């Protein structure tokens, strides 16, 4: 079915996005621990983005799991989401190489906001042609709470980047932790189907 | 079946093509908005190519969905299409780094033409061994109209690149918009099957 | 089943091998046709390797199609084949950047030989646990003829690289053309199964 | 099912990890055998890491094959494993470019240890929700022996890197050989299911 290929294609793109970021970890010249030190911020920005892309893959997985049919709108909105996600490696590299300076941190937050909006658009496109799929709409309602909280925290981290980038960083980590907490309701909704 | 792997392999190659283009967005030195400005044309060329590759994936998806069996001809014509698509990242990078100068714009249009021709060859190879699949031939007839219009617009944008590259750019955008308009007939043909 | 993942993993690796070669097409500085000229040998080496990797994918596809169960031997021999194939992008880039000089041409031929030997090892591993699958052994017998001819032509092109690299090039093209000719017997064997 | 996508996504990421390492084999300037010599250590570090990633893919394949349902814990622990594996290309490049100096060798061993620990965490997460799947727990018990031996050998190779990196290298090769020996019991357990 169409769904299989949409999932496979998204998996491919997300797998590449999550992996090419590691190419930014340029091999240092020396062979000592000191030689590794300048890479530390690049490493942490990679870790952060790996987590965020991982969260998106996770949510995409739960969302698509219950989708029954694919419309042109779903296909375009999925590509739209993949486009914004594909910019994460660039924003991550900029963040890491500039040691978390205000503007790159703010831009990173803006990009995460845009990814979140694109995900919402995808949900809307799915809703349009799955009005009677109560389990799917329940999963989406469930995701919405964390989704809105994430958008608010990302948006808050934009001005905070100019106060202290550490606060923005803490807000990012808060979002990540929030998504780590397993959502029993979604798991039940997804597994009930079997 | 053979079809599954042909789809999976094509998905893999197209996913990589669409994603490695982002590697051309080289991280700028500074951490300001000004530092980002030189990347703007690279960004727009990426956006353009992301859309075109997305359209091809979309069409490939609809086309393959109704294919029943795979011949040697289909396999080679599919590889042929993937070859020309794989050159898009190069043409895109050249376009972006030269700020949309006439020759790179013309070459980009030529490449899109070649991709379009390769897609037509794939359709012909599929037609050869699916003569009795009326739904499939209907989908192809439906795609043909937009396909021919695209080829004409790409070809027109070649000479226009030497008049004003903006005109070529507008022609590219016209093609993209044309494909965004959902084709109700194809959607019906594809979903009818279920 | 195990086979599905072995195919999916091989498809992924081969898709990446075939696509990352295009990264060697470095964007030239100028925006003229002359600026593209130095890339011509890189382009032709890419085209050549795209065809060879495409042939391997094609053959791998036909071979795996009839495989019923996966042994540890098949898994390791498949990884072994992927390893040698993964060196093709390096050999290709060296070939292109040195304008087809004798030693890189000879090394390229040696690598293609090694890939061919690895493919034969994979066939042997498959044969070991599919002794009663007559259709599969027929496909392998059928592939063997072209396989041996390819190995002989690759080996011949090694000394010829020091006489005239053009001869080696023609031998490579001969191998490619040989594989393009569709093998009616294999197609029949593969499709019979359905 | 969820399992299919988890496998597909893991396959994608592992395929990219195993393949992008070849990008470190930078094309040398000359076209002679001597020009290739400086790449030799990079080649050997690539070969080593290709084998280790191959072993992980192999084990992941056997492990996931018998998994029945996916929990949030399994998804996060799988992403965790992929994260550590994704650092292998960096550690490999550092190893190769520094001609196997003590510190990069020790760091490589630490990373392999971390990958091994992450794999154990994934097994624990799987065990938690598959308590009644005796065949799966048998496979895991079977993998545990080699797993613990690997961790011990990696850990031993850390101090040995400061005595003689050759000893560490031999320990790495010992681990690889140990995994090459086909595990009849696992094969039986996995194939029994059909």
Condensed to tens digits (0 to 9), the pLDDT of residues C164-175 reads 999 999 999 999
Side-chain half-sphere exposure of A34, counting CA atoms within 13 A: 1
The verdict on a CB contact (< 8 Å) between D13 and A8 is no
The verdict on a CB contact (< 8 Å) between D9 and A14 is yes
Q: Which residues of B touch C (CB under 8 A)?
A: 1-2, 5-6, 8-9, 12-13, 15-17, 20, 23-24, 69, 71-73, 75-76, 79, 82-83, 86-87, 89-90, 93-94, 97-98, 101-104, 107
> Where is average pLDDT lowest: A162-171, B2-11, C9-18?
B2-11
pLDDT 10s digits, C28-37: 988 899 999 9
Nearest Cα residue to D89 out of D40, D19, D28: D19
Structure tokens at A5: 């290929």
Distance from D100 to chain C by nearest Cα, in Å?
21
> Where is average pLDDT lowest: B64-73, C121-130, C168-177, D111-120?
B64-73
Does pLDDT of D85 surpass 90? yes
Res A105: pLDDT = 95
Mean pLDDT in residue range B123-148: 86
Mean pLDDT in residue range B90-98: 93
Res D193: pLDDT = 53
Res D69: pLDDT = 85
What residues in A contact B57, CB-CB < 8 Å? Answer: 9, 79
Side-chain half-sphere exposure of B176, counting CA atoms within 13 A: 15
Res D99: pLDDT = 87
Whether the Cβ atoms of residue B44 and residue B21 lie closer than 8 Å to each other = no
Res D188: pLDDT = 73
> Where is average pLDDT lowest: A63-72, B111-120, C53-62?
A63-72
- Kindly report the length of chain C: 194
- In this complex, which chains have at least 3 CB pairs below 8 Å with chain B? A, C
- Nearest residue of C to residue D191, measured between CA atoms: C69
Res B193: pLDDT = 54
Distance from C162 to chain B by nearest Cα, in Å?
31
Res D191: pLDDT = 67
Does pLDDT of B183 surpass 80? no
- Residues contacting A166, CB < 8 A, separation 6+: none
Does pLDDT of B87 surpass 70? yes
What percentage of residues in chain A have a pLDDT greater than 90? 66
Mean pLDDT in residue range B157-178: 94
Distance from D123 to chain A by nearest Cα, in Å?
18
Whether the Cβ atoms of residue B146 and residue B99 lie closer than 8 Å to each other = no
The verdict on a CB contact (< 8 Å) between A27 and D94 is yes
Nearest Cα residue to C24 out of C54, C6, C46, C8: C46
Mean pLDDT in residue range B141-159: 92
pLDDT 10s digits, D127-164: 888 888 888 888 888 888 889 999 999 999 999 999 99
Cα-based angle B66, B119, B79 (whole degrees, multiple of 5):
90
| Helical ranges in B22-164 per DSSP H | 33-36, 40-65, 72-86, 88-97, 102-128, 134-163
Name which of D9, D15, D16, D176 to mutate to probe chain C: the one with the most chain C Cβ atoms within 10 A of its Cβ: D15
Whether the Cβ atoms of residue B93 and residue B24 lie closer than 8 Å to each other = yes
Under the banding of pLDDT at 50, 70 and 90, the label for residue B107 is very high
Structure tokens at B185: 């007939």
Per DSSP, the residues of C39-70 read: GHHHHHHHHHHHHHHHHHHHHHHHHHHT----
Name which of C7, C11, C34, C64 to mutate to probe chain B: the one with the most chain B Cβ atoms within 10 A of its Cβ: C11
Under the banding of pLDDT at 50, 70 and 90, the label for residue A144 is confident
- Residues contacting C170, CB < 8 A, separation 6+: none
pLDDT 10s digits, D34-58: 999 999 999 999 999 999 999 999 9
Q: Nearest 5°: phi and psi at C39?
A: -85, -15
- Selection from A102-106, B143-147, D67-71 with the highest mean pLDDT: A102-106
Under the banding of pLDDT at 50, 70 and 90, the label for residue D9 is very high
Side-chain half-sphere exposure of A187, counting CA atoms within 13 A: 12
Q: What is the largest CA-CA distance in chain D?
A: 61
- Nearest residue of C to residue D7, measured between CA atoms: C5
pLDDT 10s digits, C33-52: 999 999 999 999 999 999 99
- Kindly report the length of chain A: 194
Res A139: pLDDT = 80
Distance from C181 to chain B by nearest Cα, in Å?
9
- Nearest residue of D to residue A193, measured between CA atoms: D1
Sole residue written with tokens 């905070």 = A160
3-state secondary structure of B179: helix
Res A151: pLDDT = 95
Q: State the Cα–Cα distance between residues D147 and D152, nearest whole angstrom.
A: 9
What percentage of residues in chain D have a pLDDT greater than 70? 95
Q: State the Cα–Cα distance between residues C172 and C166, nearest whole angstrom.
A: 10
Res D192: pLDDT = 61
Does pLDDT of C193 surpass 60? no
Q: State the Cα–Cα distance between residues A107 and A48, nearest whole angstrom.
A: 15
The verdict on a CB contact (< 8 Å) between A20 and B25 is no
| CB pairs C-D closer than 8 Å | 80
Mean pLDDT in residue range A168-188: 85
- Nearest residue of B to residue C26, measured between CA atoms: B90
Structure tokens at B4: 């599954």
Res A192: pLDDT = 61
Structure tokens at A174: 């808060």
Res A193: pLDDT = 53
- In this complex, which chains have at least 3 CB pairs below 8 Å with chain C? B, D
Per DSSP, the residues of B10-35 read: HHHHHHHHHHHGGGGSPPPSSSSHHH
Name which of C11, C73, C79 to mutate to probe chain D: the one with the most chain D Cβ atoms within 10 A of its Cβ: C79
Res A134: pLDDT = 83
Structure tokens at A138: 């329940």
| CB pairs A-D closer than 8 Å | 80
Res A109: pLDDT = 96
Under the banding of pLDDT at 50, 70 and 90, the label for residue A172 is very high
3-state secondary structure of C114: helix
- Nearest residue of D to residue C102, measured between CA atoms: D31
Q: State the Cα–Cα distance between residues B12 and C182, nearest whole angstrom.
A: 25
Mean pLDDT in residue range C114-129: 93
Under the banding of pLDDT at 50, 70 and 90, the label for residue C155 is very high
What residues in B contact C11, CB-CB < 8 Å? Answer: 5, 8-9, 12
The verdict on a CB contact (< 8 Å) between B75 and C58 is yes
Residue A7 Cα distances to A4, A70, B84, D158, angstroms:
5, 11, 24, 41
What percentage of residues in chain A have a pLDDT greater than 70? 95
What residues in A contact D68, CB-CB < 8 Å? Answer: none
Mean pLDDT in residue range A156-162: 96
């Amino acid at each position: 079915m169409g769904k299989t290929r949409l999932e496979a294609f998204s998996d491919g793109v997300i797998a590449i996005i999550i992996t090419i970021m590691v190419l930014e970890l340029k091999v240092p010249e020396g062979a000592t621990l000191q030689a590794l030190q300048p890479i530390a911020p690049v490493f942490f920005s990679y870790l952060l983005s790996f987590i965020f892309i991982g969260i998106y893959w996770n949510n995409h997985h739960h969302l698509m799991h219950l989708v029954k049919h694919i419309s042109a709108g779903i296909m375009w909105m999925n590509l739209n989401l993949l486009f914004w996600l594909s910019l994460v490696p660039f924003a991550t590299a900029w963040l890491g190489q500039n040691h978390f300076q205000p503007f790159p941190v703010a831009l990173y937050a803006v990009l995460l906001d845009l990814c979140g909006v694109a995900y919402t658009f995808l949900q809307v496109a799915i809703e349009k042609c799955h009005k009677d799929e109560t389990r799917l709409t329940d999963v989406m309602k469930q995701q919405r709470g964390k989704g809105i909280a994430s958008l608010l925290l990302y948006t808050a981290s934009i001005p905070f980047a100019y106060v202290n980038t550490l606060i923005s960083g803490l807000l990012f980590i808060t979002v990540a932790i929030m998504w780590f907490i397993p959502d029993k309701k979604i798991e039940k909704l997804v597994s009930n189907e079997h």
